[in-house]
Amino acid sequence: MAKTYLKSQLISELAAKTSFTQKQITTVLEELANIAYREAANGFTIPGICKLKVIKKKACRRRNPATGQLLEIGEREILKAVPVKKAKDTVTPKPMNLVHVVADDIAARPATIPQPKEEDSAISSAEAGQVVFTCPNCGNVLAASPESVGTLGECPYCHAQNIVPGLRLDSEQDSVDTSQQASNENQTDTEQSQQDSEKFIDFFCPDCEQEIEATSDMIGLQVSCPTCGTPLIVPAESQAPTRDASEITSDSDGATSDSDKAQSQADRRAMTIRIDLSDLE
């Protein structure tokens, strides 16, 4: 394993390649750092290396993956270092034929719609003029207008698609058990946050235009692009692609045409790569 290049080695090499002493080189490096700290909030570029900028993060909720505890993180500012293009091209040049299109052999599965059971038939609510029934998927009590009987609707709790059942006028079913209704309505915050953690954030790598999908509990974490390895920060909400395929310009040597690049970029966007917390371990 290669050894880390130390500050003392940097000072010695700079002194050997210039007419300055090691003490003078140390002073220059310290002053460069002080200027960078002072100007980072306005955007400071170290020529040929990276650009420093301060990003404001909104308040959000995150779940501790180790304990499952729900945490609230306040609004804060973070310092981000973005390597300049010359540094990326010099240190990690992109190899030829980096991205390949792979045939997807997984057949699309049609979504199943849970059908109401005989014992879960709707109850006529005379007071509200609504059809009250139980979601077959999560068991929560739902209500719908009589005109919506036989139509397809979404459960607000588990988001399952249900068909509003027909009316049932049995006197034994004229009212819903209040104790069961109260227990269904009083869902714990843990269950709600678990549903939120199953949402996904879509964003694009600014270098290779790869579409990446991450769970919402990874918002604000630093990850690497699975395709090109560029360090990224998972955004707070899904983002649109930074540019269209029509905006791609050809290389100076003319080896690849605009249409080929546009098609390559479209092929990459057609393959969404999902990452989760296990990829960071």
Among the residues of 145-197, which ranges form H helices? Answer: 178-185, 189-197
Assign 217 to helix, strand or coil: helix
What does the pLDDT profile of the chain (281 residues) look like in tens digits? 778 999 999 999 999 999 999 999 999 999 999 999 999 999 999 999 999 999 999 998 888 888 888 899 999 999 999 999 999 999 999 898 888 888 876 555 555 555 555 444 444 443 446 777 778 777 777 777 777 777 888 888 777 887 877 655 444 444 445 555 555 555 555 555 555 545 778 888 888 888 888 877 778 788 888 878 888 888 878 777 655 544 444 444 444 455 565 555 555 555 677 777 666 65
pTM of the predicted protein model: 0.36
Q: Is-contact 220 201, C-beta < 8 A?
A: no
Among the residues of 117-235, which ranges form H helices? Answer: 178-185, 189-197
What is the torsion angle, in degrees rounded to the nearest 10, for the CA atoms of residue 53, residue 58, residue 63 and residue 64?
40
